[in-house]
Amino acid sequence: GDSVTQMEGPVTLSEEAFLTINCTYTATGYPSLFWYVQYPGEGLQLLLKATKADDKGSNKGFEATYRKETTSFHLEKGSVQVSDSAVYFCALSSGYALNFGKGTSLLVTP
Amino acid sequence: DTAVSQTPKYLVTQMGNDKSIKCEQNLGHDTMYWYKQDSKKFLKIMFSYNNKELIINETVPNRFSPKSPDKAHLNLHINSLELGDSAVYFCASSRDRAESPLHFGNGTRLTVT
């Protein structure tokens, strides 16, 4: 079935460092791809999405490009802040379900 | 106004008990979901409903029974609770299929002792 694989965490970075969280997917069709973020004690929030190949989703300085040739949707940010500390989930849509990766915990230190 | 609200926020109970978690969305969405998040943060879909109709039931034990009285509500009833049921349960909704963004509640932390 459709699935998502993302890099294991935790990831620890210093403030203003560059962030990459890798995500690859397996799907039979052409799913939409998402990144969600979960702050401590909260539910998940949509961070960005892309609906077709070569689309770039962006929000709050984060970006990800839907790469069909490499079946990837890597999350990047040029300069992270302490407030970006959270768990990040890559996900793909599959009909009436959203299938999530296992999540990557990010800790940004001052 | 909270878009997706679920109650209670915390639920502590003993093995063998029956408990319910309620979820309501005020977004006018047609689809609602229940997800289970384990201690390692892994999220697994349990159920999805579209316009009160069950669409997905992902190999969840029969002890879990969702009920959707109307498309704004999706409640989760759990019979004969077991230790392994301890987790955070998230309710979510989306406008239609999962291509449209999901809006999540803040979760219910269930602890079975």
Contact residues, chain B to chain A, C-beta under 8 Å? 4, 31, 33, 40-45, 48, 50, 55-56, 58, 90, 92, 97-99, 101-102, 104-107
pLDDT tens column, A69-99: 999 999 999 999 999 999 999 999 988 889 9
Chain B interface disruption, residue of A25, A48, A55, A96, most B CBs within 10 A: A96
CA distance, residue A61 to nearest chain B CA (Å): 19
Q: How would you class A27 by CB atoms within 10 Å of its CB: exposed for 0-12, middle for 13-18, buried for 19 or more? A: middle
Percentage of chain B beyond pLDDT 70 is 98
Q: What is the pLDDT of residue B1?
A: 65
- Can you give the length of chain A in residues? 110
Q: How high does pLDDT run on average in chain A?
A: 94
DSSP per-residue letters across chain A: --EEEE----EEEETT--EEE-EEEE-SS---EEEEEE-TTS-EEEEEEE-STT-EEEETTEEEE-BTTTTB--EEESS--GGG-EEEEEEEEETTEEEE---EEEEEE-
Low-confidence ranges of chain A (pLDDT < 70): none
